[in-house]
Structure 1
Amino acid sequence: MSLLRDEEIIAALTAQPPAVPYVEGVVLPVDPYSKDSPVQASSIDLRIGNIYLPGEKETDLGGAQNPKQDYSHKTGETAVITTLETLHLPGDIAAFGFPPSRVSFKGLLMTNPGHVDPGYEGVMRFTVINMAKDPYHLERGGQIVTLLIFKMNDAAHRNWRQRSTAVPRLPNRADISRLSRDFVDVDERARKVAKEYGIKWSAGITAAVALFGILLQLLGSGRLFSRADIDDLKKRQENVEYDLKNRVNVEQKLQDFDNRLKDIERITAAQKPKQSALSSKPKVPRKNP
């Protein structure tokens, strides 16, 4: 078995009919051997095609029938991606895919990279999870996987195409719905812990966000919730609720003050015509006794 080099890969991509290219949909630059070419010394880079999001309805944007073209992939979220390119591997050609370092170094974890059997027909698809602190921008046409292509000494006795009765297809609703949108399910775990220890989870949006942030920090540190952690959470929640209550009181007082000002303005406006009428009456001269 031998690994194909750049010249062999390019020849396999540009073969004229009736030959079928090993990878369909690759766009080569004017100089296919340049640093910007998807074909490198012994590999080829494939790009993002469709983006599917677990939890979306089938026809909603991100669902099985309406994939997204770009998405800001948040920390801990799961997505399903297909390649823009389609593979047409002969019976004596196999491949192995993995995320390039420029992708993995940004925190994108690919859960199912691996080998592609001889004879495979169709797009590649992956489940990806953002393990970074910041959102990862998924975009149609962005690089997602590096593919190594191998030529075997002999063709497989029965390749993928001969073994598989299924027609190559895109992910469907059943495939996508098996996955959780939130990989570690942080939100649900935090709610369960809060309920178990008697912490009121929602005391306004600010309190919820503050408490969730604290829970994320605890999960990120790799610790379980100890009694000290829970006590600390309760104290912090009480402080947030106190601040919220005071803020509401101040806002109410300001509203009352504003209402009083409006009442005074109305009374003043009503008195002005009366004062004008009094001032316009002719003065009667007093008689001296």
Structure 2
Amino acid sequence: MILSDKTIIELLNNGELQIDPIDQEQIQPASVDIRLGNHFLKLDENKIEAMTMTDEIKYISFECNEVIIPPNSFLLATTKEYIKLPKNLTAFVEGRSSIGRMGLFIQNAGWVDPGFEGEITLELFNANRLPIKLEAGRRICQLVFASMDQEASNPYSGKYQGQRSSTGSRIFLDIDK
């Protein structure tokens, strides 16, 4: 079940759901607007011939309050907010329609597991033929919360738990059989 603004406020007030910092204006009828942070990662194309799932990917890390994403370019960004989900709540990350209409696609694999805590790394892609300028602190995406039928028996505790900035792919740490 998707949570309403009333339930979101209730969970924030009793501490079950934590979003820091948060302003009342961010709470929408069935979501919470999330703002762009000021930490970014871009692929270090000079250090990589081809990306693989078994080798660590090299990134260039930088902080700024304004960033320009060139046409047809990819950038990792972080949220301003630190999120902490309880064991019985999951969240979907959705790009804001107004941002999508500019040609900016926002992803994060679309899903935040119960028990996750940290800043959310956003995958930004400029599908436009013009550069897009973004400002830290501006609303860029939404979190839509859904309650689960019961608490997760194994809440999230993976390789991105507790992240405090944009975090590059850690797929090389996966142990696939």
TM-score for both structures, normalised by structure 1: 0.49
CA deviation after TM superposition for structure 1 residue 78, in Å: 1.5
Q: Aligned pairs, how many?
A: 156
1:132 aligns with 2:120: no
Q: 2:29: which partner in 1?
A: 41
CA deviation after TM superposition for structure 1 residue 109, in Å: 1.6
In 2, the alpha carbon distance for the partners of 1:135 and 1:114 equals 24
Higher relative contact order (CA 8 A, sep 6+): 2
1:3 partner SS = coil
Contact 2:32-2:143 at 8 Å conserved across structures: yes
Q: 1:74: which partner in 2?
A: 70
Percent of residue pairs identical: 24
Q: Give per-residue Cα distances to partners, 1:152-205, cap 9 Å, x unaligned.
A: 1210111113xx376522345xx37x9xxxxxxxxxxxxxxxxxxxxxxxxxxx
AA partner of residue 72 (structure 1): I
AA partner of residue 168 (structure 1): G
Q: 1:33: which partner in 2?
A: none
1:85 aligns with 2:81: yes
AA partner of residue 123 (structure 1): E
In 1, the alpha carbon distance for the partners of 2:105 and 2:119 equals 19
Contact 1:86-1:121 at 8 Å conserved across structures: yes
Structure 2 residues not aligned, in runs of 5+ = 47-58, 172-177
Contact 1:100-1:145 at 8 Å conserved across structures: yes
CA deviation after TM superposition for structure 1 residue 150, in Å: 1.0
2:123 partner SS = strand
TM-score for both structures, normalised by structure 2: 0.77
RMSD of aligned residue pairs (Cα, Å): 2.5
In 1, the alpha carbon distance for the partners of 2:104 and 2:160 equals 30
Q: Give per-residue Cα distances to partners, 1:29-58, cap 9 Å, x unaligned.
A: xxxxxxxx211111111010023333399x
Larger Rg, first or second structure (1 or 2): 1
Residue 160 (structure 1) aligned to one of 156, 161, 170: 156
In 2, the alpha carbon distance for the partners of 1:4 and 1:42 equals 6
More strand by share: 2
Q: 1:259: which partner in 2?
A: none
